[in-house]
Amino acid sequence: MITVLHNLQIVSDGQISQGKAILISDEKIIDVISVAAIPQDGEKIDLKGAFVAPGLIDLQIYGTGGKLFAGTPVVEALEQMENDMLSQGTVGFFATIGTNSNDIVEQGIESAKAYRDRCRGNFWGLHLEGPYLNPIKKGAHPEKYIKKGTLYEVQRWIEMADGVIKMMTIAPELQDKEVIDYLNDKGVILSSGHSNATYQQGKSFLNNPIKAVTHLYNAMPQMHHREPGYIPAIFEERPYTSVVADGIHVDFAMIRLAKRELGDKLFLITDAVTAANEGTYQHQFTGDRYVMPDGTLSGSCLTMLKAVENCVTHLDITLAEAINMASLYPAQLAGVNKGKVQAGFDADLIVFDDTYTAETTFLAGRSVR
């Protein structure tokens, strides 16, 4: 049976459209038509003028609802994340594990494999942020676990993971070519982060084969007029680049600069954590941010929809383009058939109102809340 979504405003591919209806069948969008052409048969759902956009995608999130997967990587934490993400309109996410002991990383791999067979559909796999980082730019990552990658170890983890490791943040300037080439050949999205790379080093590896950059400006060298550093190389090479748009991790003025330079390669992540009082990452909420016990800024308290709102409110980015940053661009990096409300794309959608409150999420064409 065809599902017809109508009385809505479609936010997709840089535009907002009215007077349209969305036809869904077999988990796909099969057409976007004028209201006058709505067929008589099919299940009609009146969305009462709400915005409908491609579902949001978060490629870096650590935990939600008091269950920090990054610290205690159990199946229950993945289930909590998945349910919370769906309630917020996020139709795909990479559960992230920061720099930690091998035991924690491997427990996370096993939990992800166990959960993927029974997940609701928006858990896509793991993002390992570390441990192959540069200790000079460690941020909240514990230096005792930071190390250089070895071919033996990455082969072991990739084989153990059976495809569940989707993305890794590394400091490319410290890694051997054989390690980088192996991960790239296995289809892992390689992102540069917690890096102290120079301008010249960045020019040598960005897009060749490092396809992405993790949380722009955070944990990387600052620009200087005589020593340009890594950031100008990012602006020139234009890899897919994530940013934490909360105004705390990055000032909004700097995000405006990044948007001018990176255009359709700048995408949103939450980098979100949840409170924890055990394990390596004991995040404490201080009213508007999370910090480590020593006061070091850690993950955010963003949702993807709040990041979209911030782009519109503080950056003068149009709603349609902010949605691209939260859906289309991460979908392109992840290589999934999502990110547009258009025939042929997956029917994974967020419905929200003009106060940026998520009302409904459609996953594979079905309402899940």
Whether the predicted pLDDT of 278 surpasses 80: no
pLDDT at 294: 87
Q: What is the pLDDT of residues 236-256, one digit of tens each?
A: 999 999 999 999 999 999 999
Whether the predicted pLDDT of 306 surpasses 80: yes
Residue 128 CA to residue 323 CA, distance in Å, equals: 25
pLDDT at 157: 98
Compute the average pLDDT of residues 100-128: 97
- Encoding tokens for residue 319? 């709603």
Name every residue whose Cβ is closer than 8 Å to that of residue 22 and which is 6 or more positions away in sequence: 4, 5, 6, 8, 10, 29, 31, 32, 52, 341, 347, 349
Task: Tell me: do 362 and 285 sit in the same domain.
Answer: no
Is 271 marked active-site?
A: yes
The answer to whether the beta carbons of residues 123 and 78 sit under 8 Å apart is: yes
Task: Tell me: do 123 and 19 sit in the same domain.
Answer: no
Domain that holds residue 183: 56-334
pLDDT at 281: 80
Q: Which residues pair with 3 in a beta bridge?
A: 24, 43
Task: Tell me: do 218 and 346 sit in the same domain.
Answer: no
Task: Tell me: do 60 and 44 sit in the same domain.
Answer: no
Q: Which residues pair with 170 in a beta bridge?
A: 192
Task: Tell me: do 180 and 283 sit in the same domain.
Answer: yes
- Choosing from 31, 246, 271, 346, the catalytic residue is 271
Average pLDDT, the chain: 96
Task: Tell me: do 187 and 262 sit in the same domain.
Answer: yes
Which band of pLDDT confidence, cut at 50, 70 and 90, is reported for residue 139?
A: confident
Instruction: Kindly list the distances between the CA atom of residue 149 and the CA atoms of 111, 171, 172, 217, 363, in Å, as whole numbers in the listed order.
Output: 23, 10, 10, 24, 37
CATH number of the domain encompassing residue 166: 3.20.20.140
β-pairing verdict for 43-54 and 56-61: unpaired
Whether the predicted pLDDT of 1 surpasses 90: no
pLDDT at 140: 87
How many Cβ atoms are within 10 Å of 48's Cβ, its own excluded? 11
Whether the predicted pLDDT of 10 surpasses 90: yes
Number of domains composing the chain = 2
